[in-house]
Structure formats: C-alpha cells, structure tokens
Amino acid sequence: MQELFEEFSSISKADWVEKIKKDLKGKPPADFDWQVADGQVVTAFPHLDDMGGALPHPISQGRNDWQICEGFQVENEGKANKMALKALEGGTDALRFVCSKIPDFAALFEDVDLGIISVHFKAKKLEAPLDLLRNFAEFAGENGGKISGSFCWQGTSSAVELLHFAKENLPNFKVLPVHGSAFYEGDEKTADELRKMATAASEWFANLTNEGVDAERIAKHVFFTCFIGKNYFLQIAKLRALRKFWFELQRKWGVGNPQPAFIFAQFPLSEQSSDANTNLIQATTQAMSAVIGGVDVLTVLPSDKTSDEAKPTDFSRRMARNLQHILKLESHFDWVADPAAGSYFTEELTTQLLVGMRERF
C-alpha cells in the first residue's frame, strides 16, 4: 500500500477540517457530531490523527465465524424435537431451548447428534436451575465433555456449585451469564447498556474469587447475551467495545490466557414491526451488524414473530435461517477477521463506548 500511495502527500486533520468548512459554507463541522452519551461525542469526520496516527490492532486474527441458531419454547418435547430436526436439516448448527420445567432430554434430542452442534438452554422460572444441568449431563453421559453450549439462568442457585458441576461434567458449557439482553433499552441507551454489562461481568470475578474460584476458570465459563438493535454502526461498535473490554477485564484479574468474549445474540421482540416484510428487511442489516461486530451465536427472529403468542410459520423460519446462510455461504462474512477494523468512524465509536465501560472497573 505504501508503494501505491507514496506519490500522494498526506493530509492532516487540520487541513481536512478546513476543506470541510469551505464545503459546508460556514456551517460548523461540529454540528454533525454524534452525541453517544453524556460527555461522549463522536465526530462525523474522523481522521487517523484522532487515533494518534496509528490504527488499533484488529480484535481477532482468525476467521469471523459464527453459529446459526434457532430457538424453541419447550412445552412438548416431541413437537420441539420435530422443529429442531427441521431446523438442523435447514442448516442451523446451534439450538436454543427455553425451559420452564426440566424436559425429557431423551425425547427432546431424539436423532440429534449433539457432537456436531452447540446446544443452549434458558431456564425460565425454574426454582433449581442446576437440576436442569444435572439431568442434561446425566443424559449426555460420557459424551458430556464433547458437547458445547451455554446455560442462561437466574435465581438463587449457587454459581460456585454450577461452575464446579460444569467443570466436571460439561467442561465446554458456559454457565456464568451476563444478561446483556436484560439491560437493552434501545439504541439510544447503548452506552448505559454496556456499562451495566461491564458491572455484571466484573461482579462475576469479584464475587467468585472471594469464594476461592480461580479467575482462569471464571473466564472460561462467562458468556454474554445481547440484543441487536437497528442502528447499524452503533451495534457493530457495541459488540466490538464489549469484546475489547472483556480482554481488558481478564487482564485486570490476572487471567494468563484471556478467552475471547462468547456472545449469544438475538433480536428484541419488542422492536418487531407488525409487518412481516418490514421485519425481514430490517433483519438483514441487524444480522450484518451482529456478524461484523463479532457474535459467536446468532438467532434471527422469524419475520412473523411479532409477539410472544405469535407462532412463526415454517416459511418464515426458513427465511430467517437463509438470511444467515446468504451472509455466510454467499457473502463470506465469516472469511474476514474483525471486518470493521480500520474504519475510522467505527474505531472512534468503539473507543468512545469502551471509555464508558472502563469507568465501571
């Protein structure tokens, strides 16, 4: 690149701003700045000088791969199994089950090869979430060490007990959730959302190390749930800031081998339109934000899922899956490491959000 552009002289930020002022015919460039949050402003005209003359390193070096997930409410194990098998035949490689009781795992996973996909559970109003994990581990048997996934729970269960159980029986399961989806209040509250996630992640280390748990073990089992809003660039920067923060937090707690942030992302049902076609179009840019930002597992809501009671059709579920297939198999979004790296605007927005998270630890 240096040989290609060496005959062109570099232009400083000051020179650029002067040119912009002329083009704006006296209107201050600052009028176009973006107020992200109190005291956090992103310029509409970013420049390499804003970053000290050098771009930050990409967050990751490997492929930007992610898993295509589909979620199901488990009310009847047989019906949930049929829907899961159809999703797997349609190209998903991750399944998520919302459980209000401990299911019959043999019926739920009939004909499902858990060794080639990831499986994720959300315990809904379960008094003893650990019992669900115990029953699943008993079902998995000696294959428990080969199964990957996550367990999203809330309640009074002992996190230490959950962590020790996972270590012995389901070592590739994430069982310490940071409920970012619970903090989501729309794009305009993104900075607050990230600050709350930073606090929650920090508390896992503070609370569990006080109980004698090694920081390395904690880092291996923490994961983040996120809602993806509709502001394209803001959501990309949100995920990138979260990933950077997670590395910094691990270093603060002395983790010698920092783990990449594991992010489970989906769309907020509350922001679905009553029009299915509008939802499908919007889902495209939301999915792109999630993938470019670096999620690990993504669930795209079917376009006709407009309420808790709505039952998506087979067609809308297939369209939700195929949207991700296009991004991965045709557009090859998974081939590029940290696709947003090097964009002055996105880097500056990421930094502004990250600064707010650092205030929490």
pLDDT of 200: 95
pLDDT of 156: 55
Report whether pLDDT(188) > 70.
yes
pLDDT of 109: 98
Per-residue 3-state assignment (H helix, E strand, C coil) for the chain: CHHHHCCCCCCCHHHHHHHHHHHCCCCCHHHHCEEEECCEEECCCCCHHHHCCCCCCCCCCCCCCCEEEEEEEECCHHHHHHHHHHHHHCCCCEEEEEECCCCCHHHHCCCCCCCCCEEEEEECCCCCHHHHHHHHHHHHHHHHHHCEEEEECCCCCCHHHHHHHHHHHCCCEECEEEEHHHHCCCHHHHHHHHHHHHHHHHHHHHHHHHCCCCHHHHHHHEEEEEECCCCHHHHHHHHHHHHHHHHHHHHHCCCCCCCCCCEEEECCHHHCCCCHHHHHHHHHHHHHHHHHHCCCEEECCCCCCCCCCCCCCHHHHHHHHHHHHHHHHHCCHHHCCCCCCCCHHHHHHHHHHHHHHHCCC
Q: What is the pLDDT of residues 90-101, one digit of tens each?
A: 999 999 999 999
Question: Structure pTM?
Answer: 0.92
Q: What is the pLDDT of residues 304-359, one digit of tens each?
A: 998 888 899 999 999 999 999 999 999 999 999 899 998 889 999 999 899 888 87
Q: What is the pLDDT of residues 20-69, one digit of tens each?
A: 888 988 888 888 888 876 667 888 888 888 887 777 788 887 888 999 99
pLDDT of 39: 64
Query: Domain residue spans in the chain?
Result: 2-51, 63-174, 178-361
Q: What is the mean pLDDT of residues 85-94?
A: 97
Select the CATH number that applies to the domain covering 63-174 from these four: 3.30.70, 3.10.530, 3.40.50, 1.10.10. 3.40.50
Report whether pLDDT(134) > 60.
yes
* Homologous superfamily of the 178-361 domain (CATH): Methylmalonyl-CoA mutase (3.20.20.240)
